[in-house]
Amino acid sequence: MTLYPIASHCSAFICPRAASTSPFGTLRCRITFMTGSGAGRFTMTDEGTGAGLWLIGLGPGDLGMMSADAIERARGCEYRFLEGYTATLPEEEESRLESVVGRWERVMRPMVENPEKILARAKETSVALLVVGDPMQATTHIDLESRCSEQGINFSIIPGISATSLAISVSGMQSYRFGRQVTLPFAYGEYLPTSPLELIDSNFVNNLHTLVLLDLDPTGMGVESPQPMSPSQAVDILQKMFEKMVRNEGFVRESMSDPIGSWDGILLSDLGTREQRVVSGKLEELSTVTGGRIHCLILPALFTGMEREAYERRRPHR
């Protein structure tokens, strides 16, 4: 078993030290916190799971992608909360979550961003916050590390496979050729930022691929169930951003002289679930793809090495 203690007495080194003889071994574990000064150690031997907050990655959808550690640790906790707003599990997986880890309760954004209740409980006993994907690839959970550190609450991360990492893996593109990733937001009323398309263009000009995450939450508030952006909405939003950029700048950038519909793209739908689909093609083709729940797009720069072939192998109608 591997833990990532970041307790207040462990501010400098984040060092899992735990004994386990089998991935499905006993819950008996030894956690050694190494102090920042390197002078002392605090060792805890425990039959179960001690008090603290365990941030546990569920992986991108199919619970079969949970690690052995994640399953064991989630089962061992006294309380389990499912963070329900940065991403959600497919219905079928959510319904079998209890059989995998035990009883759980859903928490939405307000309770995670104002986590007094969760932290008060984590002071007394073991609390798991289950997060779809990897718990630290989202933007909000570093906040929990900080609060736990301030309040002297044990804090540990059990990583999960992130859809962003999986997207790169199954695309066939080379991981070191990706620039900064971009989230494509819904338009809020009349407001549509052009910065996502500018970042995509900046990657392209530097000959880097872009992973484009399609927004899940038209409200931006994280209080309701996500309503993921469809491929046709995404291409439409890119087109509107392009038109606004041209209006703002007064000319068409040379790197964007081809119509957006003719750009190459790789559409990744329902990554890491049984419904996963990977389809490449021109954006005008991809915009006609229907079905699927959650999508992301890769907008490739120039292909190198075996990338062109990988792209062609993912085309439906070559």
Range 121-140, binding a copy of itself (CB under 8 A): 134-137, 139
Nearest to a copy of itself of 100, 192 (CB atom): 100
- Check residue 303 for interaction with a copy of itself (CB under 8 A): no
- Check residue 214 for interaction with a copy of itself (CB under 8 A): no
Count of residues in contact with a copy of itself, rule CB under 8 A = 90
Nearest to a copy of itself of 79, 311 (CB atom): 311
- Check residue 21 for interaction with a copy of itself (CB under 8 A): yes
Place of tokens 């006294």: 78
Q: Is 211 helix (H, G, I), strand (E, B) or coil?
A: strand
- Check residue 317 for interaction with a copy of itself (CB under 8 A): yes
User: Residue 179 in contact with residue 206, Cβ under 8 Å?
Assistant: yes
Long-range contacts of 67-71 (CB under 8 A, 24+ apart): 67/158, 67/159, 67/160, 68/23, 68/24, 69/1, 69/2, 69/23, 69/158, 70/158, 70/160, 71/100, 71/101
- Check residue 58 for interaction with a copy of itself (CB under 8 A): no
We find the least distance from the C-beta atom of residue 192 to a copy of itself, in angstroms, to be 19
Residue 219's Cβ-count burial label (10 Å; 0-12, 13-18, 19+) is exposed
Place of tokens 């793809």: 289
We find the least distance from the C-beta atom of residue 79 to a copy of itself, in angstroms, to be 21
We find the least distance from the C-beta atom of residue 125 to a copy of itself, in angstroms, to be 23
- Check residue 36 for interaction with a copy of itself (CB under 8 A): yes
Nearest to a copy of itself of 234, 310 (CB atom): 310
Within positions 66 to 125, which residues make up the interface with a copy of itself, using CB under 8 A? 66-69, 71-72, 96, 99-100
- Check residue 177 for interaction with a copy of itself (CB under 8 A): yes
Which residues are within 8 A (CB) of 180 and not within 5 positions of it... i.e. 6 or more apart? 199, 203, 210
CA within 13 Å, CB half, 171:
31
